[in-house]
Amino acid sequence: MKIGLRVCVNTLQGALQGVPNLLRLFDTYKVRASFFFALGPDRCGRFTSAHALQPWCKQRDFASRLGATLLPAPMIARRAADQMRSAKDAGHEIGLLSFDPVHWVHKAAHADAAWTRRELTESIDVFGRVFGEPPRCHAAAG
C-alpha cells in the first residue's frame, strides 16, 4: 500500500522552522512527502475579517497581533526560499499552495476567472523564481 503525505506550509514560521524539522524527521524514517508552499505575505495572526478562516494560525497575545496588523506582512518566499528549496533538494515533491492563502480562502469561492487567473499567474511566477521551474502540482489553500 502506498500512502500520500501532504504538507501544507502556510506561514513564514512553518517554512523557517517546520520545514527543516520535518525534513530531519522524514529523513530519519525514510519518508517522502509532497510539500505545498504559500509564497506571499504571511498574514497569520492579523486582525482581519478572514482571521477565522486561518485554522493554521496560532492565537497570539494582543500585543503580538496588533504589531502584526500594523507592520507589513513578511513575504514567505523572500525570507524562506532556502528552506523551501531544501525540501526539493531532499527529494520531496514540491508544489504550489497559493501566493496568499488568506486572500485565496477569503475570495476564491466567489471570484471570476480573471481574478483566479491573476492569482495563479502571480503564484506560478514566484514559484518559478524560488525553484527555477514551474510547479507541477497545486493544492489550493482552504
pLDDT digits 0-9 by tens, 61-117: 554 555 555 678 899 999 999 999 999 999 999 999 999 988 888 899 999 999 999
Cβ atoms < 10 Å from Cβ of 95: 18
- Binned at pLDDT 50, 70 and 90, residue 119 comes out as very high
**Interatomic CA distance for residues 26 and 78, integer angstroms:** 25
Residue 47, pLDDT score: 53
- Direct distance between the N- and C-terminal alpha carbons of the chain, in angstroms, rounded to an integer: 28
Residue 46, pLDDT score: 60
pLDDT digits 0-9 by tens, 65-75: 555 556 788 99
pLDDT digits 0-9 by tens, 4-37: 899 999 999 999 999 999 999 999 999 999 999 9
- Binned at pLDDT 50, 70 and 90, residue 44 comes out as confident
Whose CA is closest to 77, among 138, 129, 121? 129
**Interatomic CA distance for residues 103 and 123, integer angstroms:** 12
**Interatomic CA distance for residues 95 and 135, integer angstroms:** 5
Residue 13, pLDDT score: 94
